[in-house]
Structure 1
């Protein structure tokens, strides 16, 4: 096995990664630490027995500690109709954290975490593992409930732009 002795520049890596087309998700939490939501593309299924999802959150934002402290989160898979919500929760417009929730309509499932009513589908999760990896925190959640899927086109992110599929 060959090992590289040259480190890949982080900006070169970021540019290369921007060419991955990824589903846009809104990850939310609520509880004693407070409500929080963040737009992400780093979500994937881990297992279906038990149903488990993995999410990566940037540790740069101190508000992201709310996910760990609350111990619950939801993954809302966004439709093209949810682009304004994605933009609000990604920080566009410099809205206060709580004001971002005005961009959508919300309900809850089993954990009380905000579920976006018109997302393509939402997964309500309990944190079963959390660990730092480089600049991010990896949350692994057991899926406790799934919102009924709703039709629509998927919202994707590629080359630093939103796209529809």
Structure 2
């Protein structure tokens, strides 16, 4: 008798609402992911981002294929990732809204153009200027592997911004707690 392989196992799928509730309890960074180029300017709030490698410096970003900005990112091939701090929760909310146009979203912040042409938030805690180097489909999302072309660190961030339990949370730096 052969051992069962992953392909032969049949299990009922995990309920979507249970999965979403579980993932709401996974703390995550809050970032604005933006693009600009021949296909236009778009941006959205994303918490599904992580580092992949430091050689070459690479991060991954997960984008839902049903999001109206998805194709724009793929066509432009560049990604700006602005890691947000505590003062940016209102801006994060604006970029998370599907009811706002790209022009309305970008009017809410101060922007600079990265060397790739991607928009970067001028006062982001960290700004990553990236090119898309690979794309993998997984379920409803595309996983964009983004090679980092340039990094900008803010001089002195006061606090970070995280997403947990379907709410923004302000994360003071440890050194600020000891003052």
Scaled to the shorter chain, the TM-score interval is over 0.9
Q: Which has the larger radius of gyration?
A: 2
Alpha-carbon separation, structure 2, partners of 1:59 and 1:49: 28
CA contact (8 A) 1:53 1:141 kept: yes
Alpha-carbon separation, structure 2, partners of 1:63 and 1:148: 26
Q: Alignment partner of 2:66: what SS?
A: coil
CA contact (8 A) 1:109 1:147 kept: no
Alpha-carbon separation, structure 1, partners of 2:38 and 2:14: 41
Matched positions, count: 164
CA contact (8 A) 2:123 2:154 kept: no
Alpha-carbon separation, structure 1, partners of 2:141 and 2:166: 19
- Give the TM-score normalised by structure 2: 0.87
Structure 1 runs of 4+ off > 3 angstroms? 1-4
The yes-or-no answer on 1:108 pairing with 2:113 is yes
How far the C-alpha of 1:148 sits from its partner, in A, is 2.6
Q: Alignment partner of 1:26: what SS?
A: strand
The yes-or-no answer on 1:141 pairing with 2:146 is yes
How far the C-alpha of 1:4 sits from its partner, in A, is 6.2
- Give the TM-score normalised by structure 1: 0.94
Alpha-carbon separation, structure 2, partners of 1:114 and 1:38: 12
User: What residue in structure 2 maps to residue 82 of structure 1?
Assistant: 88
In the alignment, structure 1 segments of 5+ residues that lack a partner are none
